[in-house]
Amino acid sequence: MSKPIIIIGSGFAAYQLVKTLRRQNTQQAITVITACDGDDYNKPDLSHVFSKKQTAGDLVRMNALQFAAEYNITLLTRHRVDSIDTLNKTLTANNKQFAYDKLVLATGASAFIPPTQGCGSDRIITLNSLSEYKNAQQTLTEAESVLVIGAGLIGTEIAMDLSSSGRKVVMVDPAKSLLAAMLPDFIAAQLYQSLGNSGVDINLGTKVSRLEQAADGRSMDITLDCGRTFQVDAVISAAGLQANARLASEAGISCRRGIVVDSKLQTSARDVYALGDCAEIQGKLQPFLQPILLSANALAKTLLGQPSEIKLPAMLVKVKTPDYPIQLCGSTTQAEARWQIDASNQGMTAKAFDNNDQLIGFVVTQEHMKQAFPLLRQLPPAL
Ligand SMILES: Cc1cc2nc3c(=O)[nH]c(=O)nc-3n(C[C@H](O)[C@H](O)[C@H](O)COP(=O)(O)OP(=O)(O)OC[C@H]3O[C@@H](n4cnc5c(N)ncnc54)[C@H](O)[C@@H]3O)c2cc1C
């Protein structure tokens, strides 16, 4: 019997690849091996579960069994792959060995938890997967006050959603502005005002230094670097992601910030590919759905014998903060950029130009978001 294509993981990257492979070939043997339950869900929905009062179960689009039947695959859930032998083209999971013809690593990324002093750090919640939300659901449902560590994209979205659901929210980040890696100061300031108006207590330029269980056994005592102390019922860390590259690196596959792949998503090992949040494509991590979708399209062709390079156009990033929605694309934080701003009480269009007056990025907010697609067409491709 011919060996299957094995895909490790059951997140968006893995399942998008399965769907694309099946559209092109109904017979190819495909095995998916995943450490989690394998249910199909849309991860970005985790940004608004509090205001929508959704449980983890509400987010499941298709359970693992249904998915396996629908796409005619062998699906092994709760199987963590421990090692890969790239010479013999085998891997082990749950003490069993599996042989592959081609292997795709779609192992995603893990939420980073900044180190703190105190005994409360094991109570820090992360929301980077359905199972993490499922485990934390009861604590978060009962919590009246929540500390969100991290004021990047995910932290800001979650903070606004928690606040909309009536909880008291405190946000902490060592950066000097919200979404500091994505937004110019003048737009971050507008978002700051909007979040502040909705009641979020924003603490920038500082970090959590100590986290202890409070005397009541339920809440947590928080101390910030700046000396401020307060209590909350729950703590969420949204302080960034780290690509899950250890499995690959232990197998001798080249890794840097992620699993290094070329323009065909091939790793340094023969017949091994990487896709999604775990992959570093031409030096860049691309932890968003659209690049994963486009990458899966190219990889499916390659796996089925038609080598294809990925081409990534300029892609929009949407900040899902309904009180102050934002879309952005390209270089939006370059210090030397020249900004052209058109602001009204309906929102803002901010265009960034380089020294040659070439548009290199833009940010649009609120009603001005209808400018996003025309501007997108003026930007050069991402890869
Ligand atoms: C709250 C939130 C909101 C977001 N909003 C947006 C948005 O609005 N727009 C957007 O474009 N992107 C958004 N993103 C990012 C986007 O969801 C991710 O880029 C994408 O879902 C990543 O998919 P993935 O399959 O690469 O990784 P994951 O979903 O992390 O899947 C990794 C899989 O690998 C498995 N795995 C890992 N190691 C092993 C192992 N050793 N053995 C077996 N299985 C293993 C895991 O169990 C899991 O099934 C958001 C992310 C979050 C957290």
CA of 156 to the centre of ligand 1 (A): 18
Q: Which domain holds residue 201?
A: 113-237
Classify residue 256: in a domain, yes or no.
yes
pLDDT for res 383: 66
CATH code of the domain containing 67 = 3.50.50.60
pLDDT digits (tens, 9 = 90+) for 23-77: 999 999 999 999 999 999 999 999 999 999 999 999 999 999 999 999 999 999 9
Cβ–ligand 1 distance for 155 under 6 Å, the answer no
pLDDT digits (tens, 9 = 90+) for 131-189: 999 999 999 999 999 999 999 999 999 999 999 999 999 999 999 999 999 999 999 99
Q: Does residue 289 share a domain with residue 233?
A: no
Classify residue 118: in a domain, yes or no.
yes
Cβ–ligand 1 distance for 11 under 6 Å, the answer yes
pLDDT for res 335: 81
CA of 359 to the centre of ligand 1 (A): 31
pLDDT digits (tens, 9 = 90+) for 113-124: 999 999 888 899
Q: Does residue 98 share a domain with residue 189?
A: no
CA of 232 to the centre of ligand 1 (A): 28
pLDDT for res 120: 85
Cβ–ligand 1 distance for 287 under 6 Å, the answer yes
Q: Does residue 203 share a domain with residue 168?
A: yes
Cα–Cα separations (whole angstroms), residue 284 to 179, 256, 258: 19, 10, 9
Measured from the Cα of 81, ligand 1's closest atom is 42
Classify residue 295: in a domain, yes or no.
yes
Residue 196 CB neighbours (<10 A): 12
- Which residue shows structure tokens 């970090």? 207
Q: Does residue 331 share a domain with residue 366?
A: yes
Classify residue 63: in a domain, yes or no.
yes
Confidence of residue 1 (pLDDT cuts 50, 70, 90): low
- Please say which residue of 180, 214, 237 terminates a domain: 237
Q: Whose CA is nearest to atom 8 of ligand 1?
A: 44
CA of 59 to the centre of ligand 1 (A): 14
- Please say which residue of 200, 215, 237 terminates a domain: 237
Confidence of residue 382 (pLDDT cuts 50, 70, 90): confident
Cβ–ligand 1 distance for 50 under 6 Å, the answer no
What residues contact 222, with CB distance under 8 A and at least 6 apart? 147, 170, 208, 210, 211, 229, 230, 231, 232, 235
Q: What's the CA dihedral at 56, 58, 59, 63 to 10 degrees?
A: 90
Classify residue 381: in a domain, yes or no.
no
Classify residue 51: in a domain, yes or no.
yes
Q: How many CA atoms lie within 13 A of 256 on its CB side?
A: 9
Cβ atoms of 363 and 327 closer than 8 Å? yes
Cβ–ligand 1 distance for 15 under 6 Å, the answer no
Q: Does residue 220 share a domain with residue 129?
A: yes
Measured from the Cα of 275, ligand 1's closest atom is 26
CA of 277 to the centre of ligand 1 (A): 6
- Please say which residue of 303, 333, 350 terminates a domain: 303
Q: Does residue 28 share a domain with residue 175?
A: no
pLDDT for res 22: 98
Cβ–ligand 1 distance for 106 under 6 Å, the answer yes
Cβ–ligand 1 distance for 13 under 6 Å, the answer yes
Residue 338 CB neighbours (<10 A): 12
Hey, which of 10, 39, 42, 107 would you mutate to test ligand 1's pocket, going by the most ligand atoms within 8 Å of its Cβ?
107
H helix or E strand, kind and range, residue 379? none
Q: Does residue 247 share a domain with residue 106?
A: yes
Counting the structural domains of the chain, the total is 3
Confidence of residue 302 (pLDDT cuts 50, 70, 90): very high
